[in-house]
Homo-oligomer: A and B are copies of this chain.
Amino acid sequence: MTYCLAIKVNKGLVFASDSRTNAGVDYVTTYGKMHRFVWPGDRVCILLSAGSLATTQAAVNLINKDLEEGDDAEFNLRQAKHLYEIAHYVGKLVQREQRLHEKAVEKSNISVEARFIVGGQIAGREPEIYLVYPQGNYISASSETPYLQIGENKYGKPILDRIITQDTSPEDAARCALVSLDSTMRSNISVGPPMELAIYAADSLEEPRHMSLKLASPFYKTLQKRWNEGLKRAFNRLPRFDWEENK
């Protein structure tokens, strides 16, 4: 499995992903799931992928091929006038790739489905994030639910629901994304390090700040330690039952 999420706040976008891929529990490998396409001053597009690695790699290959073909391509990331066109395009690539293997897949009871998060900004437009379903359709985040998740999304959802609003700073949103990933990694072995993080400042149209955090990274270790200590402190301040001493 996988866990990726994107958060849209007033001052920017945050993208975070784990790096664990597995074909059953006896074949576990590490693959980045964040793909960045940046043309400074013109457009920034970040993709996060979950699901069949064969399908997501094929889709990214097709995206790169269409970019190489330039204006000869039917469509590519540079031709898009709106970010939703990119979401639509990614959905089409995923559908095309899934259909190629449909019959073989039916026989072996395997899923080749893939999901993508597509986010970024095109000059003159607002920053946006989209979730692209395996069926090729897509949704964007709303002001009330300013985040999107793919993969193992349940473990890390409560902290997002408690912390994230539109007014959250991109840095706070990034810290929350890391806590959300950390909680998921602790509870589900199909999600694992390193964690990739990208923070895009709204209207910058520049390469987002990017980092890859291993378990041993000092920043990540400090974050884990302080979060655990903070949770335990919060826990110790919960109200006592009426039969307990030291109410």
Residues of A within 8 A of B (CB): 152, 154-159, 161-163, 171-172, 174-176, 179, 183-184, 186-188, 209, 219, 222-223, 226-235, 237-241, 243-244
- A238 in contact with B209 (CB, 8 Å): no
Q: Which of B162, B223, B234 contacts A233 (CB 8 A)?
A: B234
Given contacts A176-B235, A233-B230, A233-B234, contact A158 B171 (CB under 8 A): no
Q: Tell me how far the C-beta of A238 lies from the nearest C-beta in chain B, rounded to whole angstroms.
A: 5
Determine how many copies of this chain the complex contains. Answer: 2
Chain B residues positioned under 8 Å from A229 (CB to CB): 234
Pick 18 A–B contacts, CB within 8 A, sort by A.
Answer: A155-B157, A155-B158, A158-B184, A159-B231, A161-B186, A161-B187, A162-B186, A162-B231, A163-B231, A163-B232, A163-B235, A171-B240, A171-B244, A175-B238, A209-B243, A223-B238, A226-B237, A231-B231
Chain B residues positioned under 8 Å from A188 (CB to CB): 154
